[in-house]
Amino acid sequence: MKYLALIYGRPEGSPEYGSEEWGPYMAGYEAASKTYNDDGVFVAGEALQPVETATCVRIRNGETTLTDGPFAETKEHLGGFYMLDCDSLDDAIKYAKLIPSAQHGTVEVRPVMTFD
């Protein structure tokens, strides 16, 4: 079954690009990605541009509205994702715990719906 590991964090919660902490932080992501590939569970994964670059599309009564940024004000922003093909939720959680952002943010693990 496929699981999406959605990576949330506070913008000020992760190391700043170019800082002393940045290298070890990114090394953690590289190690997680290597494990996913080595174990054959990696399907896809990407980092996202900052929430300020988002555009929300809403259609209400046939009218389209575009707005900048996320729909709701939140303290944690969606920063990226991994899609993993795992045998169980327990396995997906085991792999989600390898994501460095889990140490200062949240990693939401959600099964991907399959339509017949």
- Kindly state whether residue 23 falls inside one of the protein's structural domains: yes
The CATH number covering residue 105 comes to: 3.30.70.1060
Mean pLDDT for the chain? 92
Tens of pLDDT, residue by residue over 42-86, are: 999 999 998 889 898 899 999 999 988 765 667 788 999 999 999
- Kindly state whether residue 105 falls inside one of the protein's structural domains: yes
Mean per-residue pLDDT for 6-29? 90
- Kindly state whether residue 116 falls inside one of the protein's structural domains: no
Residue 6 clears pLDDT 80, i.e. is over it:
yes
Supply the range of the domain harboring residue 63. 2-111
Please give the tally of structural domains in the chain.
1
State how far the Cα of 103 lies from the Cα of 83, in Å rounded to an integer: 19
- Kindly state whether residue 56 falls inside one of the protein's structural domains: yes
- Kindly state whether residue 58 falls inside one of the protein's structural domains: yes
Residue 44 confidence (pLDDT): 97
- Kindly state whether residue 28 falls inside one of the protein's structural domains: yes
Mean per-residue pLDDT for 89-109? 96
pTM: 0.88
Residue 41 confidence (pLDDT): 98
- Kindly state whether residue 20 falls inside one of the protein's structural domains: yes
